[in-house]
């Protein structure tokens, strides 16, 4: 837990222009780790690339929401959170 707290402190102290680079680096580490795990896992039915994509992009090939008239006004009774 100490490592996580140190990492959070470092991220909080970064200038905003470096946050994107830090995020990209963290994603790179996760992808590298996923690749190593999949190489070791021989029981997987999917090939390595498919498994990596499935883990990294869980919403891929899912149905998106469809908004027919997104700029049309909404009546107060249609707002679920107000009820």
pLDDT band of residue 21 (cuts 50, 70, 90) is: very high
Q: Where are the domains of the chain?
A: 1-58
What is the predicted pLDDT for the residue at 55?
79
pLDDT tens profile 38-78: 776 655 555 677 777 777 887 777 887 777 877 888 777 77
Q: Look at residue 17 and tell me whether its pLDDT is greater than 80.
A: yes
Residues 6+ apart with CB under 8 A from 58: none
Higher local confidence (pLDDT), 81 or 35: 35
DSSP state of 40: H
* Average pLDDT of the chain, as a whole number: 80
- CB of 53 within 8 A of CB of 60? yes
């Amino acid at each position: 837990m100490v490592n996580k707290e140190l990492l959070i402190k470092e991220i909080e102290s970064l200038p905003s222009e470096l946050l994107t680079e830090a995020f990209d680096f963290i994603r790179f580490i996760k992808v590298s780790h996923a690749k190593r795990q999949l190489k070791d896992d021989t029981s997987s039915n999917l090939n390595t690339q498919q498994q990596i994509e499935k883990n990294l992009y869980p919403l891929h090939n899912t149905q998106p929401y469809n908004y027919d008239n997104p700029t049309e006004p909404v009546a107060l009774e249609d707002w679920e959170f107000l009820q």
